[in-house]
A and B are shown apart, each in its own frame.
Chain A
Amino acid sequence: MTGNEAVAFALKQIDPDVIAAYPITPQTDIVQYFSSFVADGAVKTEFVTVESEHSAMSATVGAAAAGARAMTATAANGLALMWEILYIAASNRLPIVMPVVNRALSGPINIHCDHSDTMGARDSGWIQLYSENAQEAYDNMFQALRIAEHPDVLLPVMVCLDGFIISHALENLVVNEDELVKNFIGAYKPQYPLLDVDNPVTVGPIDMYDFYFEHKRQQSEAMKNAQEVILAVAREYEQKTGRSYGLFEEYRMDDAEVAVLVMSSAAGTAKAAVDELREQGHKVGLVKLRVFRPFPHEKLAGALQHLKALAVMDRAESFSTMGGPLFNEVRSALYGAGGGPLVRDFIFGLGGRDIGVAEIVEIFKKTLETAAAGKVDEMVCYLGVRE
């Protein structure tokens, strides 16, 4: 299956009450596959074919508040058009799950992969899970639902997968039995549904300086709670499927002195680079971050503490002139944790610029030099770009 097929198949197995979605490259397949499931009567979902992503998220919020298991999917500019309502979905504590097929945000317009879309939404109050391959995107979908609907969390979740690289590439993957999915996700019991007309509630009231802050504080607490819930859901998923997930994955990190930290599909390429350098006797490893929100700062700092130097790979630019968003979070997590590695940032792959093993080997070599020199000469580098 392609990544998009895998996600659409997961949606079919979840069989949500409502999906409101709009097509956008490279997410379109998901909507198309799902339309066929609806047309063939394979799902019980009400499929709302909205006229924009803004309405996709708005209708999904309405459906979720009504008491339905409601979902949508998008990419890039579509996510940008939803922006306003992302925050509203999160503040209404609606457990919406949304696959986002990562694509560069315009302009200039571009349809290929980078993380500028979801990185821009990092402070919207959504949990963000990133997937290395189609298998992970598929597995993340079910776990996302359980995380979102957990009473200690009740926050929306984005399941991110790299546009074209994962969404359109064919992979072998192991799928779950329908029965397993049904038991794992369980029946949804909304807390205060609009459709309970005998117990009317007001959703989305105006919240002034006397309460707004408390509600935001509660969202922070829910995000904090999410970390343990993510791990508990992963443990249960592993028991049922044998496939293991965490906040991040460590690859050959035990005795590593230098490492790369990256998210999504580039992690697969980076693993090959680690193997190549290990063969040559270099003590290198990889950390693949799965959960960007909540940011697992303590556990991550613990895993990186023993390194001499670390290269963070950012598939998005923040234009702060001090590195990409991932770099800033990682470096902040390490600051004050005591000691820790020298950290560099490599911004790569914008607008779908290809990245191969050789380029990541180059990152390792530069970072090994940093470790040997004991200081960072160049904090932020742009990889594979004509300058």
Chain B
Amino acid sequence: MARLKDLIHKPEILSPGHRMCPGCGAPIAVRQVLMALDDPVVVCCATGCLEVSTTIYPYTAWRSPFIHNAFENAAATISGVEAAYLSLKKQGKVDKEIKFVAFGGDGGTYDIGLQSLSGAMERGHNMVYVCYDNGAYMNTGIQRSSATPRGADTTTSPAGKVIPGKPAARKDLTAIMAAHNIPYVAQASPSHWNDLVEKAKKAFAVEGPAFLNILAPCPRGWRYDAKDTIEMSRLAVDTCQWPLYEIEDGVLRITYQPKEKKPLTDYLKPQGRFKHLFAKGNEQLLEELQAEVDKRWEELKQRAACQEAK
């Protein structure tokens, strides 16, 4: 178990003074991931909020080697860095143990970067890919992505007179990554920092590729008060909208069971992006959203139970 008093003494790789918004979930997730490291690391970022706000030339917030290439290719880029490491290590030109991590938002991961990510995972590079999932293209101004929950109001899925927000349900990227049969896949939330750091430790420790999907609430895009970021991520977990689990060598384990599963509306209500769902006439949609969460949660529990029984 990670202990807070140990973690706070870890040198911060992402230094303060970067220009992410107050209350942004992404740097919290990134810092928790990097706290799991004991070895030096090379960081790669997809184009997005995290990249543009931490590397405004001539400044950089990164105390580790860092590369940004483009939007859709963080996985391919870090795979090239890792290949160079393997080659130079074999030749005796590099002797240190070095880790490799890529960070991408949900746009750069679920959508435009999915092919590059799938390729890198299949090839088996020794790398960790972290998706900080804030559920939309926040950097370009809150456009819907395939990670946007059904019903959410975004600038390209606006809640209009006829269509109440995004019509389609979220893509289950964690399951897609698990289907690559890589050594480690996990879903985490910054509200459960201990669980997150442990998962990051496992991800860095395995031989081969690992994938972490981390919920990163966005005060601007979700429309809640910036001080409530951790509360939002906690509500996502406690309503089972964002279950915490891992798949280690093919074995699925739910790492946190809410004592009392809260109704989905507890998560939706504080967020401006779901405000229209509480207007008269959308009761049916709210019920459908709750049913969808229940269904996915039950399926997940069944899979975990099946494996326990084996």
Residues of A within 8 A of B (CB): 17-18, 20, 44-46, 48-52, 54-55, 58-68, 70, 84-85, 88, 194-197, 200-208, 211
Verify B87–A68 contact, CB threshold 8 A: yes
Verify A203–B68 contact, CB threshold 8 A: yes
Docked complex: B77-119 residues within 8 A CB-CB of A: 77-81, 83-88, 90-91, 94, 96, 98, 115-116, 118-119
* A48-B83, A62-B78, A200-B62 known; A84-B56 Cβ under 8 A: no
> In this assembly, does B73 line the interface, its C-beta being within 8 Å of a C-beta of chain A?
yes
Verify A46–B65 contact, CB threshold 8 A: no
- Among B60, B63, B119, the most chain A Cβ lie within 10 Å of the Cβ of B119
Instruction: Report the separation of the CA atoms of residues A88 and B76 in the bound assembly, to the nearest whole angstrom.
Output: 14
> In this assembly, does B133 line the interface, its C-beta being within 8 Å of a C-beta of chain A?
no
In the complex, what residues of B have CB within 8 A of residue A197's CB?
40-42, 64-65, 96, 98
**How many residues on B have C-beta within 8 angstroms of the other chain's C-beta atoms?**
46
Instruction: Report the separation of the CA atoms of residues A59 and B87 in the bound assembly, to the nearest whole angstrom.
Output: 14
19 sampled A-B residue pairs with Cβ under 8 A? A17-B91, A18-B83, A46-B87, A49-B123, A51-B116, A58-B69, A58-B77, A58-B80, A59-B76, A62-B44, A62-B69, A63-B80, A63-B83, A65-B67, A85-B70, A194-B67, A202-B66, A206-B51, A211-B57
- Distance between B291 CB and nearest chain A CB, rounded to angstroms: 37
Instruction: Report the separation of the CA atoms of residues A85 and B69 in the bound assembly, to the nearest whole angstrom.
Output: 8
Instruction: Report the separation of the CA atoms of residues A196 and B66 in the bound assembly, to the nearest whole angstrom.
Output: 11
In the complex, what residues of B have CB within 8 A of residue A203's CB?
65-68
* A58-B69, A66-B42 known; A51-B84 Cβ under 8 A: no
Verify A204–B69 contact, CB threshold 8 A: yes
- Distance between A37 CB and nearest chain B CB, rounded to angstroms: 14
Verify A46–B83 contact, CB threshold 8 A: yes
Residues of B within 8 A of A (CB): 40-42, 44, 51-52, 55-58, 60, 62-70, 72-73, 76-81, 83-88, 90-91, 94, 96, 98, 115-116, 118-120, 122-123
Instruction: Report the separation of the CA atoms of residues A48 and B68 in the bound assembly, to the nearest whole angstrom.
Output: 19
In the complex, what residues of A have CB within 8 A of residue B83's CB?
18, 20, 46, 48, 59, 62-63, 68
Instruction: Report the separation of the CA atoms of residues A44 and B88 in the bound assembly, to the nearest whole angstrom.
Output: 9
Verify B69–A194 contact, CB threshold 8 A: no
Verify A202–B70 contact, CB threshold 8 A: no
Instruction: Report the separation of the CA atoms of residues A20 and B40 in the bound assembly, to the nearest whole angstrom.
Output: 25
* A52-B119, A195-B94 known; A60-B60 Cβ under 8 A: no
Partner of A67 from the list B60, B62, B88 (CB cut-off 8 Å) is B88
Verify A195–B87 contact, CB threshold 8 A: no
Verify B98–A70 contact, CB threshold 8 A: no
4 A-B pairs closest in CB distance: A62-B80, A51-B119, A59-B80, A66-B84
In the complex, what residues of A have CB within 8 A of residue B120's CB?
55
Verify B51–A55 contact, CB threshold 8 A: no
Verify A20–B80 contact, CB threshold 8 A: yes
In the complex, what residues of B have CB within 8 A of residue A58's CB?
69-70, 73, 76-77, 80, 116
Partner of A45 from the list B51, B87, B116 (CB cut-off 8 Å) is B87
Verify A205–B68 contact, CB threshold 8 A: yes
In the complex, what residues of A have CB within 8 A of residue B94's CB?
195
Verify B65–A61 contact, CB threshold 8 A: no
CB nearest neighbor in A for B58: A211
* A51-B122, A59-B80, A206-B51 known; A200-B85 Cβ under 8 A: no
Partner of B67 from the list A204, A207, A211 (CB cut-off 8 Å) is A204
